[in-house]
């Protein structure tokens, strides 16, 4: 059947709807049917939408990668001006500001909470305008007009009635459009034909950083200077940097015995500014037979609320991290059991329709950045938050959605790699830190492999490991270890050098939960981009039973902060990983440049022992046989919870894994214990196990 004519008719219908919508929105700016404070809100939002549509109209008739009459730098500034810096204090995207409007004017507070949601949701249209996505634009423009008309015709009926009407407009919009938005998002993650970003990366003139403004993301000096700095590097160095990244990906499949030859696509995730490096990586992946899938990080509440782990995809600068934090749970406005059921049904249907794309997807290859100014959020009670019943639903949804994803993007067959580079915000030593990071990423893995084997040989003899803190760190934690049935052929710890996790190095295991007891304390740490002060987690038989921090004066606020951002609404999490980082060179770099708080976990976890709460490192891959370079099989891949994967799979996984590192200078000691025998690994921040002394060289400089 030929759908060409039908699709053309749909496109024409969208154009007609678009023209009608934009005409009506222009009228809103001039008419004064509403009294204050509503008139100011709707006219301001209408102005913003007209700015967005002007981008769509200005770019529609021009080729993506070529200059036109639009001053995209000025447009970029105008689109994001409202939430930058102090402007956010009086932005309709700020829940505190809209609450103040409601209180000062004696208005319905829930109504203004929904207006805050609506404006923030409409801000998520910016990238769709740059992509020329007419259908998405039209749907949201019509939602805005519907809400506006509700005010025009219903305000005389009372705000209680209006609150109900606005809620229903938003709720049914999300329900009725779920199939459209969910399919679009999932297919974006699988189909290399969705190539908006890829065409920009491969075709734009990268010698002029103005190309960055065509992505539709917020662009700052970080992105521009990164692109400019990469342009100063010789092609040979760019190729070598890309090869470290792409070869790490390939070797990850090889070491795990996974069939890369069965895969056809790889997802490249990165921060804007690294296009020259990504362009070379695309070529190298294509030489491996992998087509790149490069999709944008989520900008709408339905995706932000269900995707966990920060921004997933490609993205520019974050205009306002407090704004992101304020709206991370906006999905609470319409999340309920029926929405969840329908979303899971649709997810299965979309995966089934795109089964070939899903089955042949190899997994993510991630370029992270570090160096941002540390951020500690303010918790706002009037921001939308999931209720207790909604949190339970969300935990259930993520478990079911995770299992569904593993079924189609086959967990046992996919892999990943992550590498990290600094951005200019890290300070005056940016270029020196960048070059030092490149050196870190290419350290002699054979040297570390040999030293780490010494650690593993000692750890394999233990029944448990005891970790003690110092210098204000009160950690006193005992980690129970698996017992080896055949020490000549089996091992507990993986000898991890530099493949999926770049740079080297660490040794890690999945602890036995029963017998893992004590306190894990870190004086200051950043986890998933958020700061924790004096974080304390107490474990009883491997499960978190007490938790606290000192971010806020109110203890209840501290507990809620941990529950939402570390426990991810679970009542508890297990200790899924214990590891000893060996990259003392990275630790030295952090001290030399005073950037310890700005290191990403990817590097930070290599600079001391670390402990992951959540799933093990072998989640969904426990039954794949894995071997260390010495030929011994790694047998400690599961724990008492993940072993439920066959008998009760819904209880086996938490779909989260957060690493928490104790730096060497907060470490009194690590001891391997077996009966009466106690073997020191680290004492007073230095490696003392024979054969590991070379790791101390950077520490003693």
Confidence of residue 2 (pLDDT cuts 50, 70, 90): very low
The residues near 628 (Cβ < 8 Å, ≥ 6 apart) are 453, 456, 491, 494, 495, 634
| The pLDDT of residue 153 | 84
Two tokens, residue 213: 């403004």
Which whole-number Å values give the CA distances from 311 to 117, 218, 327, in the listed order?
19, 14, 13
- pLDDT at residue 205 greater than cutoff 70: yes
- Asked if the model's pLDDT at residue 28 lies above 80, the reply is yes
- Give the residue carrying structure tokens 């929904």: 114
Q: Which helix (H) or strand (E) holds 527?
A: strand 512-527
Token pair listed for 95: 């829940």
Q: What is the pLDDT of residue 605?
A: 82
pLDDT of residue 70: 66
553-608 pLDDT tens trace:
999 999 999 998 899 889 999 999 999 999 999 899 998 999 888 888 778 888 88
Residues of the chain with pLDDT > 70, as a percent, come to 96
Mean per-residue pLDDT of the chain: 92
Of residues 530 and 520, more confidence is placed in: 520
Cis peptide before 503 (omega within 30 of 0): yes
> In this predicted model, what pLDDT tens digit does every residue of 461-498 receive, in sequence order?
999 999 999 999 999 999 999 999 999 999 999 998 77
Residue with tokens 């993940």: 642
Task: Output the pLDDT for position 171.
Answer: 97
pLDDT at residue 155, rounded to an integer: 63
Are residues 541 and 517 in contact, defined by beta-carbon separation less than 8 angstroms?
yes
d(CA 377, CA 325): 7
- The pLDDT tens digits for 240-282 are 999 999 999 999 898 888 899 999 999 999 999 999 999 999 9
Alpha carbon distance 206, 275 (integer Å): 7
Count of all residues that appear for the chain in the document: 701
Tell me which H or E stretch contains 464. strand 464-469
pLDDT tens digit string along 359-416? 999 999 999 999 998 888 888 889 999 999 999 999 899 999 999 999 999 988 999 9
**Tens digit of pLDDT for each residue in 134-170?**
999 999 999 999 999 999 887 666 677 889 999 999 9
> Which residue would you say has higher pLDDT here, 502 or 293?
293
DSSP helix/strand/coil, 696: helix
Regarding pTM above 0.75, the answer is: yes
Per-residue pLDDT reduced to its tens digit, 281-317: 999 999 999 999 999 999 999 999 998 767 899 999 9
Q: Which runs of E-coded beta strand occur in 394-463?
A: 417-422
Q: Indicate the SS3 state at residue 498.
A: coil
Provide the residue ranges of all domains of the chain, joining segments of one domain with +: 4-176, 187-418, 443-666
Q: Is the pLDDT of residue 9 over 60?
A: no
Q: Which two tokens stand for residue 20?
A: 């009608």
């Amino acid at each position: 059947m030929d759908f060409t004519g039908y699709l053309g008719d749909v496109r024409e219908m969208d154009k007609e709807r678009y023209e009608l919508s934009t005409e009506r929105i222009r009228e809103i700016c001039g008419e004064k049917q509403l009294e204050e404070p509503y008139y100011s809100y709707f006219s301001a939002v209408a102005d913003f939408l007209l700015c967005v549509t002007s981008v769509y109209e200005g770019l529609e008739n021009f080729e993506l990668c070529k200059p036109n009459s639009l001053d995209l730098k000025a447009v970029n500034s105008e689109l994001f001006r409202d939430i930058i810096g102090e402007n956010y204090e009086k932005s309709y995207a700020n829940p505190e500001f809209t609450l103040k409007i409601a209180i000062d004017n004696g208005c319905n507070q829930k109504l203004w909470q929904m207006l805050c949601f609506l404006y923030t949701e409409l801000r998520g249209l910016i990238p769709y305008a740059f992509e020329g996505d007419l259908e998405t634009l039209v749907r949201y423009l019509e939602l805005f007009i519907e809400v506006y008309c509700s005010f025009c015709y219903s305000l005389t009926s009372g705000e209680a009635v209006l609150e109900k009407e606005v809620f229903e407009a938003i709720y049914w919009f999300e329900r009725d459009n779920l199939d459209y938005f969910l399919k679009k998002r999932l297919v974006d993650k699988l189909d290399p034909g969705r190539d908006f970003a890829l065409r920009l990366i491969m075709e734009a003139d990268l010698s002029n950083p103005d190309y960055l403004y065509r992505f539709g993301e917020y662009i700052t000096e970080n992105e521009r200077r990164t692109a400019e700095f990469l342009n100063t590097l010789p092609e040979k160095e760019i190729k070598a940097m890309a090869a470290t990244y792409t070869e790490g990906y390939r070797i990850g499949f090889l070491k795990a015995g996974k069939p890369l030859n069965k895969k056809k696509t790889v997802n490249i995730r990165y921060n804007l500014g690294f296009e020259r490096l990504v362009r070379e990586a695309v070529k190298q992946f294509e030489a491996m037979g992998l087509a790149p899938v490069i999709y944008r990080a989520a900008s709408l509440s339905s995706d932000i609320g269900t995707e966990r782990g920060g921004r997933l995809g490609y993205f520019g600068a974050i205009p306002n991290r407090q704004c992101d934090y304020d709206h991370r749970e906006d999905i609470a406005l319409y999340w309920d059991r029926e929405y969840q059921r329908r979303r899971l049904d649709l997810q299965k249907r979309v995966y089934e329709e795109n089964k070939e794309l899903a089955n042949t997807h190899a997994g993510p290859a991630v370029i992270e950045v570090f160096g941002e100014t540390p951020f500690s959020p303010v918790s706002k009670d009037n921001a939308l938050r999931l209720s207790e019943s909604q949190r339970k639903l969300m935990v259930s949804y993520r478990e079911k959605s995770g299992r569904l994803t593993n079924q189609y993007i086959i967990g046992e067959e996919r892999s990943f790699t992550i590498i990290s580079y600094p951005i200019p915000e890290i300070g005056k030593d940016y270029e020196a830190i960048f070059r030092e990071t490149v050196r870190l990423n290419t350290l002699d893995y054979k040297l570390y492999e040999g030293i780490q084997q010494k650690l593993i040989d000692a750890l394999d003899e233990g029944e448990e490991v005891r970790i003690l803190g110092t210098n204000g760190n009160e950690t006193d934690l005992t980690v129970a270890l698996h017992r080896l049935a055949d020490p000549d052929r089996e091992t507990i710890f993986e000898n991890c050098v530099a493949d999926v996790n770049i740079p080297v190095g660490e040794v890690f295991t999945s602890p036995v939960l029963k017998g893992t007891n004590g306190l894990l304390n870190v004086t200051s740490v950043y986890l998933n981009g958020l700061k924790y002060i004096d974080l304390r987690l107490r474990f009883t038989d491997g499960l978190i039973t007490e938790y606290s921090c000192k971010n806020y004066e109110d203890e209840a606020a501290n507990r809620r902060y941990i529950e939402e951002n570390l426990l991810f609404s679970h009542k508890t999490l297990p200790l899924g990983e214990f590891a000893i980082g060996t990259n003392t060179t990275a630790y030295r770099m952090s001290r030399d440049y005073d950037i310890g708080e700005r290191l990403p976990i990817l590097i930070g976890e290599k600079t001391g022992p670390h402990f992951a709460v959540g799933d093990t490192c072998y989640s969904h891959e426990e039954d794949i046989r894995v071997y260390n370079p010495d030929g011994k099989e790694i047998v400690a891949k599961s724990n008492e919870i993940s072993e439920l994967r066959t008998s009760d799979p819904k209880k086996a996984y938490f779909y989260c894994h957060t690493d928490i590192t104790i730096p060497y200078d907060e470490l009194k000691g690590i001891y391997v214990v077996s009966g009466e025998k106690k073997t020191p690994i680290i004492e007073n921040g230095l490696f003392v196990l024979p054969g590991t002394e070379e790791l101390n060289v950077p520490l003693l400089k």
